[in-house]
Amino acid sequence: MSRYKNLTHEQIEELLSNYLIDYWSYSRVDSFSRNEKGFEMSYVYGHKGKSSATTVAGQAYHKALDLFFNNLKVGMSTDIVELEQIAFAYIDEKPADTWKIQKTNPTVDDCIQSAIKNTSTLINNFMSEAQVYLSEIKEVVHSEVKMKSWVRVNGVDIPLPCYLVIDLVIITNDDKRVIIDHKSRSRFTDESELRFSIGKQAVTYVLGYESETGNTVDEVWFIENKLPKNKDRSPQLLCFKSIMDKSTRRLYEALLYEPLKRMITAVNDPDYVYLINDSDNFIDKAEMYEFWAKTMLAEIESFNVPENKKPLIEARLRKIRDASLGSITPTVIKNFKKYAEQFIPYDLSNKDMTNQQKIEHVLRSFGIVTEVQHTFDGYSSSSYLLAINAGTSISAISKYKLDIANALNVPNVRIQKDLLVYGGKSYLTIESGKKSTSTLFWDKTKLIGNKIPIGVDNFGQTLIWDTDNHSTPHALVCGATGSGKSVWIKSTLEYGLQGVFGKVVIFDPKFEFTQYARIQGVDVINDIEDIEREMKKLVEEMEIRVKSQISVKTLVIFDEFADAVANSRKGNELKNYEDVVYGHYKDGREKTRRECISVDKPLEENLRVLLQKGRSSGFRIIAATQRASTKVITGDAKVNFPVQICFRVPKDIDSIVVIDEPGAEALNGRGDGLIKSPEYLSVTRFQAFYKE
């Protein structure tokens, strides 16, 4: 057992502070052996290359097999439709800036279609020849298991933990424990080549798995799935088995130890010079040289470096820059960087161009001539106003929004459905998320009368919810975890407590607003039974107000209302029973039976009544949910919410459910939102206020 397993958490942190990386893996060792500069670029500086359609297809194939074997583990079968659904969903969720544009796939849409086609082929191959796996399986132990483990290689305790992602672990019919690695290939690997090339990977899996679980691994299998169909109709799946006996282990450990030791030595030395291998076909040569020049010019913020490694790598960058600039002028380095960039024709994110120029260049490459005439920077996004020439189809521009996102190096962009009139001229607006450099703090002075500030748009205008306006009485709010929904509700509530509302009721099934229960005039209700009773009371109070023509400003916040409605009583559960006398026995005792004496209205109906009739008596309602469920947020329900706000959601369909158009799936999170309201002509992007 590795001696590092016995270290305390503090001792491990102290140990890892001496290294440029926090763990090793087989892929990192392989990358270091093949091209040290490529390793430095990817794993020290966090410069991740973009993924080709073939690579994404392989990843999606792994997702499908993970579903298949997890279902098999519990005795469930999986059909090809289910496998394709989960694989295609993975492809659809890949951000636009992660796709590698190539001559064979010149647009992001082409990449997506190619990945879908290849994935479908891989899944069909697997389903046709699944017996390569199934004929040997007695039990599925793990599928896509991830672990970190301290290991000993070649008798030496390695001072960094090993990170593993093991595709499949099974028990065979003859009771052997086997690790299986799924591989997608354009051609089968030669068996003689496999015997040498897989050894280091196989023993890495074995050492890590055994160290973490205490179970002995007998064999490692590599099952290749070949994309192109074999003309001789031979199998598309090929299995190579490596028996992990003592002598084989010793050989593979010796092969692994040499490059691993060199890599550990390198990442332990901040002054280590990583060599460039120009013959490495796995790394784009121009991209590598562009990165090399960047290390001589850029600051640490220009790289994707973990916080705990910044001091070490910042010191390294400083030494590189001082040494380079002492012998080479910055002008020469910059010119070299530009020279390298021009050989990366399909990755505009590396170009020394402004975002405006990148947008214009991408559209021009598809025959669309436009000009970005105005740029506005918001807190979490930027707006680019495009002047559209006569004869240019706006729908054609929308078609290439993923390619624009790829060029801007962001996951997605939002193209407004309606044109924006600015300075007397119409423009098409493209919105691109950006890293927030400042926080929009809650500001009491933004509150004017009963107009509650919602946030600030990219043009610097404060958006409001006018609670005196009878056309905007209620607000529907949706957003996933981390989107800023709850923070926005608290910010709005804080404004409401500044004298706007005389009474506040908070339905809080997730216990996120309990601190407000201590404030006079605020009622916080958590349990679903109490929520049902309080909602019924509010409806009764509203009926009294309507009849008496009394209006009292009351704010009702219903957090996670979709889940509450789903979990509330329905059908027979709403019936109230009572023992009713219907006769007497001979001895004088009463004969009774339980009869339904009344039926309560369901929570959903009481909420609907309060929404429809409460506006005239002073009720203002904010209904919030994480789930954009069409069962709850129906067309009829949305009629009662003139103000609709959507923070970041997982899919475009969720955005459509809430605000009737896509776009919220492209938001940044942390208060970056979209609002649809009668107060504004179109769906408007804004940054919400943050209240500490």
CA distance 358 to 555: 47
| Domain range 444-570+602-688, CATH class | alpha beta
Radius of gyration of the chain (CA): 31
Residue range 518-537: mean pLDDT, rounded: 91
pLDDT of residue 333: 67
pLDDT of residue 325: 61
HSE (side-chain half, CA atoms, 13 Å) at 430: 32
pLDDT of residue 293: 84
Confidence of residue 154 (pLDDT cuts 50, 70, 90): very high
Percent of the chain scoring above 90 in pLDDT: 59
Residue range 408-432: mean pLDDT, rounded: 91
Smallest CA-to-CA distance from 673 within 374, 379, 355, 376 is with 379
In three-state secondary structure terms, 558 is: strand
Q: Which of 372-386, 409-423, 584-598, 608-622 has the lowest mean pLDDT?
A: 584-598
CA distances for 136 relative to 62, 79, 181, 221, angstroms:
20, 20, 15, 12
pLDDT of residue 63: 97
CB count within 10 Å of CB 231 equals 6
- Considering only residues 320 and 267, tell me which one the structure prediction assigns the higher pLDDT: 267
CB count within 10 Å of CB 419 equals 16
Confidence of residue 1 (pLDDT cuts 50, 70, 90): confident
CA distance 534 to 501: 18
Q: What is the dihedral of CA 167, 169, 172, 174, to 10 degrees?
A: 140
In three-state secondary structure terms, 482 is: coil
Beta carbons of 686 and 675 less than 8 angstroms apart? yes
CA distance 160 to 445: 53
Phi and psi angles of residue 460, each rounded to the nearest 5 degrees, phi first: 85, 5
Architecture, CATH, for domain 353-433: 2-Layer Sandwich (3.30)
pLDDT of residue 348: 72
Pairing, β 522-525 against β 503-507: parallel
pLDDT of residue 326: 65
The mean pLDDT of the chain is 89
Q: How far is CA 45 from the centre of its chain?
A: 22
For residue 290, what is the enclosing H or E element?
helix 285-295
pLDDT of residue 345: 65
Beta carbons of 278 and 40 less than 8 angstroms apart? no
pLDDT of residue 498: 92
- Considering only residues 320 and 456, tell me which one the structure prediction assigns the higher pLDDT: 456
Q: Is the pLDDT of residue 167 over 80?
A: yes
pLDDT digits (tens, 9 = 90+) for 486-514: 999 999 999 999 989 989 999 999 898 99
pLDDT of residue 445: 93
pTM more than 0.85 = no
Residue range 220-240: mean pLDDT, rounded: 92
CA distance 204 to 566: 48
CA distance 514 to 339: 59
Residue range 447-459: mean pLDDT, rounded: 93
Residue range 128-145: mean pLDDT, rounded: 95
CB-count exposure of residue 80 (10 Å: 0-12, 13-18, 19+): middle
Q: Is the pLDDT of residue 329 over 80?
A: no
Between the ranges 394-398, 586-590, 659-663, where is the mean pLDDT highest?
659-663
- Considering only residues 158 and 304, tell me which one the structure prediction assigns the higher pLDDT: 158
Residue range 318-337: mean pLDDT, rounded: 72
Beta carbons of 470 and 617 less than 8 angstroms apart? no
pLDDT digits (tens, 9 = 90+) for 464-475: 999 998 899 999
Confidence of residue 342 (pLDDT cuts 50, 70, 90): low
pLDDT of residue 593: 79
Which segments of 278-437 are extended strands (E)?
Answer: 370-377, 381-388, 413-415, 420-422, 425-433
- Considering only residues 390 and 157, tell me which one the structure prediction assigns the higher pLDDT: 157
Domain boundaries, the chain: 50-128, 285-341, 353-433, 444-570+602-688
Identity of the amino acid at 234: S
Pairing, β 237-243 against β 219-226: antiparallel
CB-count exposure of residue 271 (10 Å: 0-12, 13-18, 19+): exposed
Beta carbons of 688 and 456 less than 8 angstroms apart? no
- Considering only residues 598 and 421, tell me which one the structure prediction assigns the higher pLDDT: 421
In three-state secondary structure terms, 251 is: helix
For residue 93, what is the enclosing H or E element?
none
pLDDT of residue 346: 67
Identity of the amino acid at 565: V
pLDDT of residue 288: 87
Q: Is the pLDDT of residue 576 over 80?
A: no
Residue range 8-12: mean pLDDT, rounded: 93
DSSP per-residue codes, 143-203: EEEEEEE--EETTEE-SSPEEEEEEEEEEETT--EEEEEEEEESSPPPHHHHHHHSHHHHH
Confidence of residue 47 (pLDDT cuts 50, 70, 90): confident
Pairing, β 420-422 against β 381-388: unpaired
Handedness of CA 335, 339, 340, 344 (dihedral sign): positive
Pairing, β 672-676 against β 590-599: unpaired
Confidence of residue 632 (pLDDT cuts 50, 70, 90): confident
Tell me which DSSP letter residue 48 carries.
P
CA distance 499 to 523: 16
Residue range 14-20: mean pLDDT, rounded: 94
In three-state secondary structure terms, 223 is: strand
CA distances for 454 relative to 446, 460, 489, 492, 592, angstroms:
10, 13, 10, 7, 58
Q: What is the token pair recorded at 538?
A: 């509010």
In three-state secondary structure terms, 253 is: helix
pLDDT of residue 318: 85
pLDDT of residue 324: 67
Length, in residues, of the chain: 692
CA distance 685 to 487: 17
Q: Which of 333-347, 419-433, 455-469, 663-677 has the lowest mean pLDDT?
A: 333-347
Please name the residues in contact with 196: beta carbons below 8 A apart, sequence gap of 6 or more: none
